[in-house]
Structure 1
């Protein structure tokens, strides 16, 4: 989760004709496990980021391919694609990561 900002920057720098419209880092969600017994202190935190990108279909597809080839696991809660005015489109990604650190990127 700590690398999310730099990963997004790197992916966008290497993506032609893609612009970031917005990015929202949601509050972390503590994850606990039933095996913890009475100690409900969070062991890990789920971090959620919503990213809205604009560009044409092929440029946005290249971003998805690049994110999919990252060396670490990145969860995808949802993906929404809509054509705004052909050939321009908007891609909304709801990305999930986990960390043992409650703090998250400041956007």
Structure 2
């Protein structure tokens, strides 16, 4: 037997206050379980893999640069030194190409804001509350204060939307389906008045440049 939304609403209205509270609590727990299964676990897995890949490339680049400096300071014969330098520079060029190929998969920083807004327009049940641009920062495990060479910058934005659970999930899935990559840094989903919730999403793209995101 199929039960309409109106019938479900009527049944909910017929509950006493304590039963309503228990029902809402159960729904929130269910939504959180769905959220963790559909969104959060995928987010953590993607983040870990991406950071590992980029950090490995950055480490290799730094090692190659250090070898070049050591070779330049060494007493090797000029011809031998030049051959080794050429090999190291070719290796660095190859790794930079790999980083460049990865960068092209991400939405250009200046287009991030428009991409987020355009996809939001396709979700009629979501309302944009706020959109904030964050300063660019080094990306990866090598983003330390003593790090002199920064290869990849992280450009992030904080997005706050209001709407129901399934519209929010649909929006996040639509971002995943873009031809360019937009990654989630964090997601804070808070039910305000069921079924309406406020979701704060921090997303980011990657670039070799430190320029600010498009507003």
1:85 aligns with 2:193: yes
Q: Give the secondary structure class of the aligned counterpart of 2:110.
A: coil
Does structure 2 conserve the Cα–Cα contact (< 8 Å) formed by 1:32 and 1:40? no
Paired positions, count: 103
The structure with the larger Rg is 2
Q: 1:77 to 1:9 in 2, by over 3 A?
A: same
Q: 2:115 matched to which residue of 1?
A: 7
RMSD of aligned residue pairs (Cα, Å): 2.1
TM-score relative to the length of structure 2: 0.44
Distance 2:195 2:177 in 1: 26
Q: CA deviation at 1:3?
A: 1.4
Distance 1:73 1:101 in 2: 17
User: Which aligned runs of 4 or more in structure 1 are off by greater than 6 angstroms?
Assistant: none
Q: 2:133 matched to which residue of 1?
A: 25
Which of residues 173, 180, 195 is equivalent to 1:72? 180
Q: CA deviation at 1:27?
A: 0.6
Q: 1:61 matched to which residue of 2?
A: 169
Q: 1:51 matched to which residue of 2?
A: 159
Q: CA deviation at 1:101?
A: 2.0
Q: CA deviation at 1:72?
A: 2.0
TM-score relative to the length of structure 1: 0.83
Q: Which has more helix, going by share of residues?
A: 2
For structure 2, list consecutive stretches of 5 or more residues without a partner in the other structure.
1-108
Q: Which has more strand, going by share of residues?
A: 1
Q: Which has the higher contact order (CA 8 A, sep 6+)?
A: 1
